[in-house]
């Protein structure tokens, strides 16, 4: 049985919010892991898998807490491997295909920038468990953002080909960069409980950092007021997520209860 985020209790909103954090980290981690052994350079291969590992560790902390609050005995593994696409609460950005390396790094840069400012804020959350998970994550997220920002500059301000590919990725992915700031009842409840930051503050920090990096990278900044896709946070996903889950959840689906 899934947590219905339309439930009108404070805990339901918090569980919904925790699932969003956990599912974002989980799906992006899975996507990055698919670069393992295929990175454009050994160092990049290691970097992406390290980032994937950090995100998986963070996933475990978020989903464990969500499972505890839910109180139905579901573990982090149950939540990760036994929910179907419509029960996942990740945003559309993280389920976009790996594509070429520019696509992967632009997706990462948008995610890292949002993630960094969100964790800064959640580290001061009124819920101590959320605060300590954020405090732990922020050190890792900081590394991720530093790295993805540097790579955007190197690729954008690199060769004509790397510039063109990076700009194309920016233009393609921009419409998925706004969902995190489109607050619904769950997010709003978290603001009221002193957990989540205000959407406007978070978005302002995001836009400022992205435009600063893009200026250095000689990339054109897309229109902040452009139409933004949304739905993932509420379980309405793109077709990509089903394929990701088909691979990620195969073992638990084929061999229910399998353990190491």
Partner 1 sequence: MNAAVANGAGVDQVWTWLGAVSDPEIPVISIVDLGIVRAVAFEGDTCVVTITPTYSGCPAMTVIAESVTEALHSHGLNDVKLVNQLSPAWTTDWMSEAGKLALKGYGIAPPAQQAIDISGLRSGVKRVAAPPLLVACPICGSTHTQLTSQFGSTPCKALYKCLDCLEPFDYFKCH
List of residues contacting partner 1 (CB under 8 A): 42-43, 46-47, 50-51, 53-58, 60-61, 116-117, 128, 131-133, 135-137, 139-140, 142-143, 145-147, 149, 205, 208-209, 212-213, 216
| Nearest-angstrom CA–CA distance, 186 and 5 | 7
Residue 31 and residue 98 in contact, taking contact as beta carbons nearer than 8 Å: yes
Minimum distance from CB of 83 to partner 1 (Å)?
21
Minimum distance from CB of 234 to partner 1 (Å)?
27
Q: Which is nearer to partner 1, 145 or 196 (CB)?
A: 145
Which residues, in sequence order, are CB contacts of 224 under 8 Å at separation 6+? Answer: 207
Rounding to the nearest 10 degrees, give the CA dihedral for residues 129, 21, 236, 191: 60
Single out the residue of 141, 25, 35 nearest to residue 88, CA to CA.
25
Minimum distance from CB of 199 to partner 1 (Å)?
16
Look up residue 170 and give its two tokens.
Answer: 């920016």
Q: Which is nearer to partner 1, 50 or 162 (CB)?
A: 50
Q: Which is nearer to partner 1, 147 or 233 (CB)?
A: 147
Residue 196 Cα to chain centre, angstroms: 16
Q: Which is nearer to partner 1, 56 or 182 (CB)?
A: 56
Minimum distance from CB of 84 to partner 1 (Å)?
25
Q: Read off the DSSP letter of residue 29.
A: H
User: How far apart, in Å, do the first and last CA atoms of the chain sit?
Assistant: 25
Q: Which is nearer to partner 1, 49 or 230 (CB)?
A: 49
Minimum distance from CB of 140 to partner 1 (Å)?
6
Minimum distance from CB of 153 to partner 1 (Å)?
9
Q: Which is nearer to partner 1, 174 or 214 (CB)?
A: 214
CA angle 10, 235, 67 (to 5 degrees): 45
Return the residue matching tokens 């404070």.
10
Minimum distance from CB of 135 to partner 1 (Å)?
5
Q: Which is nearer to partner 1, 51 or 92 (CB)?
A: 51
| Nearest-angstrom CA–CA distance, 175 and 227 | 6
Residue 233 and residue 89 in contact, taking contact as beta carbons nearer than 8 Å: yes
| Nearest-angstrom CA–CA distance, 80 and 4 | 17
């Amino acid at each position: 049985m899934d947590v219905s985020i339309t439930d009108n209790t404070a805990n339901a909103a918090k569980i919904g919010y925790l699932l969003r954090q956990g599912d974002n980290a989980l799906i992006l981690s899975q996507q990055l892991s698919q670069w393992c052994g295929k990175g454009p350079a050994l160092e990049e291969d290691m970097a992406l898998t390290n980032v994937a590992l950090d995100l998986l560790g963070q996933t475990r902390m978020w989903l464990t807490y969500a499972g505890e609050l839910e109180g139905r005995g579901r573990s982090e593994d149950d939540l990760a491997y036994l929910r179907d696409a419509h029960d996942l609460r990740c945003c559309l950005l993280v389920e976009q295909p790996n594509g070429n390396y520019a696509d992967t790094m632009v997706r990462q840069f948008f995610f890292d920038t949002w993630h960094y400012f969100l964790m800064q804020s959640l580290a001061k959350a009124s819920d101590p468990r959320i605060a300590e998970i954020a405090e732990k994550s922020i050190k890792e997220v900081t590394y991720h953002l530093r790295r993805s920002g540097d790579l955007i500059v190197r690729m954008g301000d690199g060769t004509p080909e790397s510039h063109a590919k990076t700009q194309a990725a920016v233009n393609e992915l921009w419409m998925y960069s706004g969902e995190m700031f489109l607050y619904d009842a769950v997010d709003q409840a978290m603001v009221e409980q002193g957990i989540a930051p205000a959407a406007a503050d978070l978005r302002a920090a995001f836009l400022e950092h992205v435009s600063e990096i893009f200026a250095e990278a000689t990339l054109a900044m897309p229109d902040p007021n452009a139409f933004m896709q949304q739905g993932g946070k509420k379980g309405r996903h793109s077709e990509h997520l089903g394929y990701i889950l088909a691979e990620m959840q195969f073992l638990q689906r084929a061999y229910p209860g399998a353990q190491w």
